[in-house]
């Protein structure tokens, strides 16, 4: 990832990009779009399916194959994962199976993925920007000495078939598009929920190319002593909620967050906040929505007292319906909200909560308002 551009950098970088050289001969063999499929404890991380959906579009544009890379232990979970990748659009799958790959560890996973890349040479390699994906992507990109664009919000191929990876840039309402010149594969990570989940279509298992892990346990220095699953694992969470209500600095104080929570409760929704709310200590980090917090894709998103900076916008843009409540009619959030109200959120939220109760369960008013 390129650092934040200095004021003069866009022009300078642009001129270098326009000098784009012919791709070195040895990289011309690099073809096809790959998605690294994250499997842990037999479960595929949903971000991998989201990426297969996105990878399918890129592969179609390039007229190449979409391949899934599955790395894991020789068991049912790994085999199911391979089968699933075909239902989500993969044309073929590369599989590295070995008992050493039972749990994620940087060393054997880096080795496995790097070896498959070096052997079968993809043009584009996408990974989820999860704790696992980021741990792995940095090691693999450095081993291959290629470029890596982190946390992209948009992927496309341009006229000369190179990957155009777009992400927010530091410090303002700006996005930048990044290219990997003269190196292959072009690597990018994307955070969960940024891309839409493609439809699952029942398909038979297609071509699977297996690759051996060239390692023994003694080669691996890091040992796993234990794994403690999160207590609330599997519980509905912010990223996957159908309705989200969030508050920003415009709420004016920590105590007013009750209004956001109250509305969320009545809607059976999750609640969240903007980053400064976390920085002020009004809410914990788990509630942060945006580029450096959670990305959400609810059916309904209600944002109260949030200005709509790019880092917030990219985290909520996938919502089907965005409702913004803000006192400033020029707030950037009205550029991407579907429905807007220019009013004081602190005064309006109680009326809104009440309106939902009146409309949907008038008999339970006292109980719900509590």
Partner 1 sequence: MHIVVCIKQVPDSAQIRVHPVTNTIMRQGVPTIINPYDLYALEEALRLRDQHGGEVTVLTMGPPNAEDTLRKALTFGADRAVLLTDRFFAGSDTLATSFALSSAIAKVAQVYGAPDIVFTGKQTIDGDTAQVGPGIAKRLKLLQLTYVSRIADLDLAGRTISVERRSEGGVQQLRTTLPALITMLEGTNDMRRGTMKDALRAARAEVVIWSAKDAGIEDLTKCGLRGSPTVVKRVFAPGPRAEKAEMIEITPAARDTADSLLDAIFSRQPKLEADIAAAQAAL
Ligand X SMILES: Cc1cc2nc3c(=O)[nH]c(=O)nc-3n(C[C@H](O)[C@H](O)[C@H](O)COP(=O)(O)OP(=O)(O)OC[C@H]3O[C@@H](n4cnc5c(N)ncnc54)[C@H](O)[C@@H]3O)c2cc1C
List interacting residues with ligand X (CB under 6 A).
170-171, 248-250, 252, 274-277, 288-293, 305-307, 309, 311-312, 315, 325-328, 331, 344-346
**Least gap, CB of 312 to ligand X (angstroms):** 4
Q: Residue 230: how many CA atoms within 13 Å on its side-chain side?
A: 5
Under the criterion CB under 8 A, does residue 46 sit at the interface with partner 1?
no
Q: Are 256 and 283 in contact (CB under 8 A)?
A: no
Please identify, using beta-carbon distances, which residue of 56 and 100 lies nearer to partner 1: 100
Residues β-bridged to residue 341? 325
177 binds, among ligand X, partner 1, none (CB under 5 to 8 A by kind): partner 1
Q: Are 303 and 336 in contact (CB under 8 A)?
A: no
C-alpha to C-alpha distance for 127 and 332, rounded to whole angstroms: 31
Q: Which H or E run contains 95? A: strand 92-97
Under the criterion CB under 8 A, does residue 131 sit at the interface with partner 1?
yes
In the list 29, 161, 181, 254, the residue contacting partner 1 (rule: CB under 8 A) is 181
C-alpha to C-alpha distance for 370 and 368, rounded to whole angstroms: 5
Please identify, using beta-carbon distances, which residue of 85 and 110 lies nearer to partner 1: 110
Please identify, using beta-carbon distances, which residue of 80 and 106 lies nearer to partner 1: 106
Q: Residue 111: how many CA atoms within 13 Å on its side-chain side?
A: 17
**Least gap, CB of 216 to partner 1 (angstroms):** 17
Under the criterion CB under 8 A, does residue 276 sit at the interface with partner 1?
yes
In the list 300, 304, 345, 346, the residue contacting partner 1 (rule: CB under 8 A) is 300
Please identify, using beta-carbon distances, which residue of 86 and 155 lies nearer to partner 1: 155
C-alpha to C-alpha distance for 33 and 161, rounded to whole angstroms: 12
Residues 193-212 that bind partner 1 (CB under 8 A): none
Number of Cβ atoms within 10 Å of the Cβ of 261: 14
What are the tokens at 104? Answer: 């994620």
In the list 72, 108, 122, 147, the residue contacting partner 1 (rule: CB under 8 A) is 147
In the list 70, 141, 239, 345, the residue contacting partner 1 (rule: CB under 8 A) is 141
**Least gap, CB of 179 to ligand X (angstroms):** 21
Please identify, using beta-carbon distances, which residue of 100 and 302 lies nearer to ligand X: 302
**Least gap, CB of 188 to ligand X (angstroms):** 18
C-alpha to C-alpha distance for 363 and 368, rounded to whole angstroms: 10
**Least gap, CB of 22 to partner 1 (angstroms):** 16
- What DSSP assignment string belongs to 9-54? HHHHHHHHHHT-PPPPGGGTT--SEEEEEPEETTEE-HHHHHHHHH
C-alpha to C-alpha distance for 210 and 214, rounded to whole angstroms: 13
Q: Which part of the chain contacts partner 1 (CB under 8 A), choosing from 25-33, 196-204, 205-213, 342-350?
A: 342-350
Please identify, using beta-carbon distances, which residue of 22 and 202 lies nearer to partner 1: 22
Please identify, using beta-carbon distances, which residue of 16 and 212 lies nearer to partner 1: 16
Under the criterion CB under 8 A, does residue 222 sit at the interface with partner 1?
yes
C-alpha to C-alpha distance for 90 and 75, rounded to whole angstroms: 20
């Amino acid at each position: 990832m390129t650092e934040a551009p200095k004021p003069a950098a866009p022009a300078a970088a642009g001129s270098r990009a326009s000098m784009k050289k012919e791709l070195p001969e040895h990289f011309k063999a690099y073809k096809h779009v790959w998605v690294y499929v994250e499997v842990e404890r037999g479960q595929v991380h949903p971000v991998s399916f989201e990426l297969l959906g996105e990878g399918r579009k890129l592969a179609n544009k390039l007229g190449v194959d979409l391949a899934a890379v599955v790395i894991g232990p020789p068991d049912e979970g790994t085999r199911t994962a391979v089968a699933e990748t075909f239902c989500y659009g993969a044309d073929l799958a590369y599989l590295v199976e070995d008992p050493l790959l039972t749990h994620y560890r940087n060393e054997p996973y880096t080795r496995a993925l790097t070896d498959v890349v070096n052997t079968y040479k993809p043009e584009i390699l996408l990974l989820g920007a999860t704790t696992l994906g980021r741990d792995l992507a940095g090691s693999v990109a450095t081993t291959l000495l290629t470029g890596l664009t982190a946390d992209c919000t948009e992927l496309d191929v341009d006229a000369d078939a190179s990957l155009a990876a777009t992400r927010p840039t530091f410090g303002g309402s700006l996005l930048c598009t990044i290219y990997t010149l003269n190196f292959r594969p072009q690597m990018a990570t994307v955070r969960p929920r940024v891309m839409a989940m493609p439809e699952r279509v029942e398909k038979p298992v297609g071509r699977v190319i297996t690759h051996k892990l060239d390692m023994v346990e003694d080669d691996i220095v890091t040992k796993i002593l234990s794994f403690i699953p999160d207590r609330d694992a599997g519980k509905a969470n912010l990223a996957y909620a159908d309705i989200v209500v969030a508050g920003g600095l415009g709420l004016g104080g920590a105590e007013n967050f009750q209004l956001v929570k109250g509305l969320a409760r009545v809607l059976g929704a999750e609640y969240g906040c903007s980053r400064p709310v976390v920085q002020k200590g009004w809410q914990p980090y788990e509630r942060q929505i945006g580029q450096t917090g959670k990305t959400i894709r609810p059916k309904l998103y209600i944002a109260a007292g949030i200005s709509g900076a790019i880092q917030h916008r990219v985290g909520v843009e996938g919502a089907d319906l965005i409702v913004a409540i803000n006192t400033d009619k020029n707030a950037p959030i009205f550029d991407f909200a579907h429905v807007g109200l220019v009013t004081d959120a602190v005064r309006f939220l109680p009326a809104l909560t009440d309106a939902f109760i009146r409309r949907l369960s008038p008999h339970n008013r006292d109980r719900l308002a509590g």
